[in-house]
Structure 1
């Protein structure tokens, strides 16, 4: 059965009409400014559009000869699409939980199925393919085989190649180039706007070795191993961290935002074998005392991890000298790593450096943040990179969210650490935006994943840490290929 071209064109125009496809200047989740924004969540409010989307996706599957026993939609936007496809075509549907409950059946995949069956994955939009893989993996774990993935829109940024590398065939109703072609033909887009979108897609291919497509993708520099990066840094703390990660085979930092110092020490002993860094907030602990630093350093030596006090210094140079070196907490005495905002200017680095350099410490600059509405992006990020270059002996890297989009290259020896990591992705009520280890390392170009609540609030924190450690390390080794 051939796909009806008139039906496809009509769907494109309807998507544009309901503003599921918009053009202008939009900040994406990654912080990058995009000339196109695709929001398919809106289609649930237009039953005619939802029905047309489900029909076209089924048509493309049948036209391509895809065969499957059941289907599973990627949470959440694809769920109503999959439901519509299931009802219209009498095909059983399964559901994946984004977060597995620690009570009840504790199932990741809900529904009736038999191991060995073939399951179709349904997604609304594919960019890198990361969200698809987050659904494929738990399906495989319960014995289901996945061979085909169907999407409404393929942004043509490397997702198809990534899925193909995992033996998955992508069926897309609308390659983005087809959307642009129809909208330009119908007078909904100017030729200049079409070229602007094409240029954006070409410049923002996903993956460490993004392959080209008809939009002319650029190639990303090959990623260097941690051991090789150790040879490119002037900061001893960074060199030690690179070598520690390579030897221990972990790029996991745990943000242990617990309520007391006693809880932190207990957690550090439990999680120490899995981590490369323990991140603390010493001003949270009402029971902090002079023995805190020595206890933590003893555990760091025992389990071979580094300590990162997430102080986020943000004052003038003279003030931070005292805050870092003395006061109640004497951070420089026990914390290998700390961090700072660049709002006060480079004087803050001079002040911290006057205390920490002689002690072999390292400083991370907050170049980007994962919270909603952050102003740490764009020109701010560029200024942080420039300041780091002026202090290579003390600045060891950055807190960042998408360093792969920066002008700086991989081979600088600077460490990229990304907070807000969860296996399920998503966000919380306070504006924290979460990303998966695979996306943070493989697509966004980070080096260290920072995980908080996903570990220390888990029923078994040690088991959760082991799971995150594996996910982070697997993503790193995959990025080297």
Structure 2
């Protein structure tokens, strides 16, 4: 190994940019290694050294480019150093569009068909590089190459290659471990533990080009995902792990929406479909003969048939108000519903308000964010969906948010469940704007973990037989997505 690379790895270790121990990652996984290269902004000499070694890597590969762009935010200062030291124009990608000024996603001077070199600090799955390339492509700037300081070797390079983006890494995790072990910074046990973690948590996937679909720009990813049993082991949130285990045991990813108007009708449907579902979704406030005792009957049915109860309440108010809506009133939803959902429009307060109820009562509950909708003409934008994803991934919500109600897969984090509504064995729509997708399309093309079916089952002549058909279709589609 070149002395420059070896010395840089040792310096990064000394300033705690590379740490070993026990760390909870954004995905909820427990990792023996943590890379925090943001710290190098406080060490100008190291930052310059990082920029120079990455520039050398670009020169070695004789890459053609007209500008550089750092992935927000850690790679921005690195890209700035490269730009100023070597007189290369720089572009800046915003993470979100501003609602004032020019409202641009890409800042800087560029021409259509320019080539831009992406600069990144660490690559795991390759998603951040890919999103930056997409943003550049949207204004006509082309991307063929990306330079990364450290490749964690978890499949990011292979994923980017499917998008015709070639990842050039200065060093790999294997090289980091070799140097640190050789210089007695870590022992062999930690080396093996880290290698096992990297091997067991790869993001091997094939990503297709984005294809426009019903509700904005959905990626249409075809993904080789972990099995439900494997996902259950990776989830820190107990309600999510419990759901995956139910799915695995019952061989079903079917959620039935019992949108009927009497307690008797709800119970009749559940008795017919209970063996075939992992979730029963309710709209408790449309039941005309509701009595508080009915929620206990729901819980008894959930225990009998082993499913979770999802009250589709769609909370959308300030934190103080949703706390009362969740825990008080005639329905007392927090007492019996395993899962609820929110419109994230009010911001994090709507999540925090519900989360506080769960904490105060010591409950094991989960919350879904409505990130996309299946109704035609809805006002949810791509930026709104991305903002919803950021809320879900915030550390303060990791003990409560379990995923999304959506129309496309938003993240490859197995601890985030994706529930796609509007599923029917035959695609189409109704006269009120509902757009239907088939189970196979929902699971394989849109990346659904759970398919939500309503009238396709509840209006059938034989509820049990129809539930079996949907269970089989959803399960067979799932089998095509796992290695």
TM range (shorter): 0.5 to 0.7
Residues 280/172 of structure 1: CA separation in 2 closer, same or farther (3 Å cut): farther
CA drift of 1:185 comes to 1.1
What count of residue pairs does the alignment treat as equivalent?
316
Q: Any conservation in 1 of the 2:79–2:90 contact (CA below 8 Å)?
A: yes
Paired position in structure 1 for 2:293: none
What is the alpha-carbon distance in structure 1 between the residues aligned to residue 45 and residue 284 of structure 2?
Answer: 52
1:136 alignment partner, one of 112, 123, 133: 133
1:206-253 CA distance string (max 9 Å, x none): 24579xxxxxxxx85479xxxxxx9989799944369xxxxxxxxxxx
1:28-81 CA distance string (max 9 Å, x none): 112211111110000000011000100111111111221111011111100000
What is the alpha-carbon distance in structure 1 between the residues aligned to residue 43 and residue 86 of structure 2?
Answer: 20
Paired position in structure 1 for 2:313: 309
Paired position in structure 2 for 1:152: 149
Q: TM-score, normalized by length of structure 2? A: 0.54
Unmatched segments (≥5 aa) in structure 1: 211-218, 224-229, 243-276, 283-289, 292-305, 312-322, 332-337, 341-347, 353-361, 376-382, 385-396, 402-420, 451-469
Q: 1:116 and 2:146 equivalent?
A: no
Paired position in structure 1 for 2:256: 240
Q: Any conservation in 1 of the 2:117–2:144 contact (CA below 8 Å)?
A: yes
Q: TM-score, normalized by length of structure 1? A: 0.54
What is the alpha-carbon distance in structure 1 between the residues aligned to residue 138 and residue 32 of structure 2?
Answer: 38
1:448 alignment partner, one of 386, 405, 418: 418
1:220-259 to 2 correspondence within 5 Å?
221=226, 238-240=254-256
Aligned residue for 1:30, secondary structure, equals coil
Residues 128/75 of structure 1: CA separation in 2 closer, same or farther (3 Å cut): same
Residues 96/209 of structure 1: CA separation in 2 closer, same or farther (3 Å cut): closer
Q: 1:81 and 2:78 equivalent?
A: yes
CA drift of 1:186 comes to 1.2
What is the alpha-carbon distance in structure 1 between the residues aligned to residue 284 and residue 62 of structure 2?
Answer: 56
Q: Any conservation in 2 of the 1:442–1:476 contact (CA below 8 Å)?
A: no
1:331-381 CA distance string (max 9 Å, x none): 7xxxxxx7x6xxxxxxx7xxx4xxxxxxxxx84399xx998xx99xxxxxx
Q: 1:195 and 2:170 equivalent?
A: no
What is the alpha-carbon distance in structure 1 between the residues aligned to residue 15 and residue 284 of structure 2?
Answer: 46
Paired position in structure 2 for 1:100: 97
Residues 442/236 of structure 1: CA separation in 2 closer, same or farther (3 Å cut): closer
1:423 alignment partner, one of 372, 380, 386: 386
Residues 19/141 of structure 1: CA separation in 2 closer, same or farther (3 Å cut): same
1:476 alignment partner, one of 444, 447, 450: 447
What is the alpha-carbon distance in structure 2 between the residues aligned to residue 449 and residue 50 of structure 1?
Answer: 42
1:247-396 to 2 correspondence within 5 Å?
308-309=312-313, 328-330=329-331, 352=336, 363-364=338-339
1:39 alignment partner, one of 23, 30, 36: 36
Q: 1:20 and 2:17 equivalent?
A: yes
Unmatched segments (≥5 aa) in structure 2: 208-223, 229-245, 259-279, 290-309, 316-324, 342-347, 357-362, 370-383, 421-440, 450-477
CA drift of 1:328 comes to 3.7
What is the alpha-carbon distance in structure 1 between the residues aligned to residue 442 and residue 165 of structure 2?
Answer: 20
- The list of structure 1 runs, each at least 4 consecutive aligned residues, that deviate by more than 2 angstroms after superposition, is 207-210, 219-223, 230-242, 277-282, 326-331, 362-366, 397-401, 424-450, 470-475, 477-481
Paired position in structure 2 for 1:461: none
Residues 120/105 of structure 1: CA separation in 2 closer, same or farther (3 Å cut): same
Aligned residue for 1:240, secondary structure, equals strand
Q: Any conservation in 2 of the 1:148–1:169 contact (CA below 8 Å)?
A: yes
Q: 1:5 and 2:8 equivalent?
A: no
What is the alpha-carbon distance in structure 2 between the residues aligned to residue 51 and residue 178 of structure 1?
Answer: 21
Q: 1:178 and 2:141 equivalent?
A: no
CA drift of 1:310 comes to 6.4
Aligned residue for 2:92, secondary structure, equals strand
